[in-house]
């Protein structure tokens, strides 16, 4: 079947109305949940093959994460789909106004390779909950996971409303030539621009979940050992291939010196003396990414890690100290297990450096000083700000997850997913009698001036 035919079939299903009843939506979400739990082992194996992802990490950050999203959605869906009453201005009374969420139609979800289960299926939870027909486009760079999706999704979900299209640039380009009612893209900004340009053709709304350099600032009010352990966990999970991983660290020379020691201990605590032998430490997704990362090593002084092995695409958890701001590792999103430390004179310089860069997807601040926390919140802009913990904000269902500026536009998770994949229709209902609008109909006599 051609891609155009696949999309046409989904549109036919959507137009027939089968995806709209809440019963269908709940059935799809329940089936998706069943797929993830019954076939958990197949997803774990695929993630192990694609990214050497430890099965426990796969449960927490991928499979279990999506199950949590589904449960949250199922728990609240009835309420979130109820029309919401809004106040009618006195001049229009008597009347009733409400907002009704309606599905937008046929939507496309394009996912990247780094969390290939979570980042494909979490948006799909919102798309289905909103009553849409969906095409899922997994990343070709996580081929084992893509194959499992292509095999299992049609087995569990209603093929009239849900289709998986595998493939790379050619297939995605062809998909982008179709008419969609929403495109939800997660990945890098270069392709994000291609997606946005293609969407313009049909005035299709897009959600862009992009990346960038997420900074972390640490001051001397926090325990360096505790901070280093948290930061190392967020940075080295999935071998640093996490969009919300701390990208680089800003600290005064004194704090940086204390953190250096603490990072050494933290990496040992998480992955043992030789992370290359740890079953909990991932690998770089492919040779191209490995070469890119290997070339970023060597800036400043290597205080933790630095080892690589091309054959197994291993890059050790690495911390680089005294990194100059113009080093290559500071000029692009790292997206790997390398943490450069840039020394600053204090919060003023840190805030200036953050504001000189693109707006990050996340900013992390480790400080017990409420004034400092407030300054970073109000004087910088980022998709999210985390105090004392990296990455975990995305597990809070009530928080919108998304970027701002170069790190993306639009957001999802929980009710925000429903909002993203729905049209919020304005509904106003006013009875014909009594006709209070007579007061403003022409002719505009002097007595009507006060309106
Ligand atoms: P990727 O290479 O898998 O690309 C993402 C998707 O775009 C894939 O499905 C791919 O097939 C498609 N694609 C690639 N080239 C294309 C083209 N020329 N035209 C049309 N489609 C194309 O993943 P990636 O972009 O390398 O992912 C890493 C980036 O994604 C990083 O920048 C990271 O920060 C960002 N990211 C963001 C989030 C988030 O939630 N905001 C999550 C994960 C990753």
Instruction: State the ipTM, two decimals.
Output: 0.95
Calculate what percentage of the chain has a pLDDT beyond 70. 99
Q: Which 8-state DSSP code applies to residue 10?
A: H
Predicted confidence at residue 328, as pLDDT, reads: 96
Contacts of 204 (CB under 8 A, 6+ apart): 179, 180, 181, 182, 183
**Minimum CA distance residue for ligand 1 atom 40:** 209
**pLDDT digits 0-9 by tens, 296-330:** 998 999 999 999 999 999 999 999 999 999 999 99
Predicted confidence at residue 450, as pLDDT, reads: 60
**Minimum CA distance residue for ligand 1 atom 27:** 187
- Which pair of tokens denotes residue 349? 């310089």
How far is Cα of residue 215 from the mean position of the Cα atoms in its chain? 17
| Cα(278)–Cα(305) distance, integer angstroms | 14
SS3 334: coil
Residues, the chain: 451
Q: Name the residue of 185, 191, 192, 241 to mutate for ligand 1: max ligand atoms within 8 A of Cβ.
A: 191
- Predicted TM-score of the model (pTM): 0.96
Q: Name the residue of 50, 112, 213 to mutate for ligand 1: max ligand atoms within 8 A of Cβ.
A: 112
**pLDDT digits 0-9 by tens, 408-438:** 999 999 999 999 999 999 999 999 999 999 8
Predicted confidence at residue 162, as pLDDT, reads: 98
Longest dimension (CA), the chain: 88
Predicted confidence at residue 307, as pLDDT, reads: 97
Nearest to 420 by CA among 78, 120, 146, 182: 182
Name every protein residue with a CB atom under 6 angstroms from any ligand 1 atom.
Answer: 110-114, 119, 137, 139-141, 168-169, 172-173, 186-188, 191, 194, 209-211, 243, 333, 335, 361, 403, 408
| Cα(263)–Cα(265) distance, integer angstroms | 5
320, 302 contact by CB (below 8 A) = yes
- Which pair of tokens denotes residue 324? 């100059």
SS3 45: helix
Classify strands 314-315 and 362-366 as parallel, antiparallel or unpaired: unpaired
| Cα(243)–Cα(403) distance, integer angstroms | 11
Contacts of 110 (CB under 8 A, 6+ apart): 137, 172, 175, 183, 184, 185, 186, 187, 195
Ranges in the chain, pLDDT < 70: 448-451
**Minimum CA distance residue for ligand 1 atom 2:** 112
Dihedrals φ, ψ of 164, to 5°? -105, 130
How close is the Cα of 448 to the center of ligand 1, in Å? 58
| Cα(67)–Cα(29) distance, integer angstroms | 9
Atom of ligand 1 nearest to the CA of 361: 41
Catalytic residues: 209, 243
176 — alpha (psi -120 to 50), left (phi > 0) or beta? alpha
């Amino acid at each position: 079947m051609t891609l155009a035919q696949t999309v046409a079939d989904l549109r036919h299903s959507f137009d027939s109305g089968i995806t709209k009843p809440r019963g269908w939506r709940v059935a799809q979400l329940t089936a998706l949940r069943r797929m993830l739990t019954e076939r958990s082992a197949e997803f774990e194996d695929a993630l192990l093959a694609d990214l050497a992802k430890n099965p426990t990490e796969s449960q927490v950050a991928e499979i279990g994460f999506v199950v949590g999203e589904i449960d949250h959605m199922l728990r609240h869906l009835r309420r979130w789909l109820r029309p919401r009453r809004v106040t009618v201005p006195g001049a229009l009374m008597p009347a009733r106004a409400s907002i009704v969420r309606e599905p937008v139609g046929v939507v496309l979800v394009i996912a990247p390779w780094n969390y290939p289960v979570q980042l494909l299926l979490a948006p799909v939870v919102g798309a289905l909950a909103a009553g849409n027909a969906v095409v899922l486009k997994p990343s070709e760079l996580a081929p084992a996971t893509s194959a499992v999706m292509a095999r299992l999704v049609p087995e569990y979900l209603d093929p009239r409303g849900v289709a998986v299209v595998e493939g790379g640039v050619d297939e995605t380009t062809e998909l982008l030539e179709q008419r969609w009612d929403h495109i939800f893209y997660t990945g890098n900004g270069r392709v994000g621009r291609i997606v946005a340009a293609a969407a313009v053709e049909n005035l299709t709304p897009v959600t862009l979940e992009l990346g960038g350099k997420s900074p972390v600032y640490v001051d001397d009010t926090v325990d360096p050992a505790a901070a280093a352990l948290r930061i190392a966990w967020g940075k080295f999970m999935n071998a640093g291939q996490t969009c919300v991983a701390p990208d680089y660290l800003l600290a005064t020379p004194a704090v940086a010196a204390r953190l250096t020691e603490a990072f050494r201990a933290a990496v040992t605590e998480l992955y043992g003396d030789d992370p290359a032998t740890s079953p909990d430490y991932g690998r770089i997704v492919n040779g191209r990414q490995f070469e890119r990362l290997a070339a970023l090593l060597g800036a400043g002084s290597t205080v933790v890690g630095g080892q690589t092995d091309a054959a197994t695409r291993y890059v050790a958890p690495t911390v680089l100290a005294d990194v100059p701001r113009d080093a290559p590792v500071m000029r692009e999103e790292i997206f790997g297990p390398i943490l450069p430390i840039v020394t600053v004179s204090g919060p003023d310089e840190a805030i200036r450096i953050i504001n000189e860069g693109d707006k990050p997807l996340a900013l992390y601040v480790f400080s017990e000083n409420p004034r400092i926390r407030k300054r970073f919140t109000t004087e910088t802009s980022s998709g999210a700000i985390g105090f004392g913990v990296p990455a975990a904000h995305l597990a809070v269902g009530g928080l919108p997850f998304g970027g701002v500026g170069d790190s993306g536009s639009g957001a999802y998770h929980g009710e925000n997913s429903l909002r993203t994949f729905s049209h919020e229709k304005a509904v106003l209902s006013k009875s014909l009698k009594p006709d209070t609008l007579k007061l403003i109909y022409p002719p505009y006599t002097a007595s009507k001036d006060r309106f």
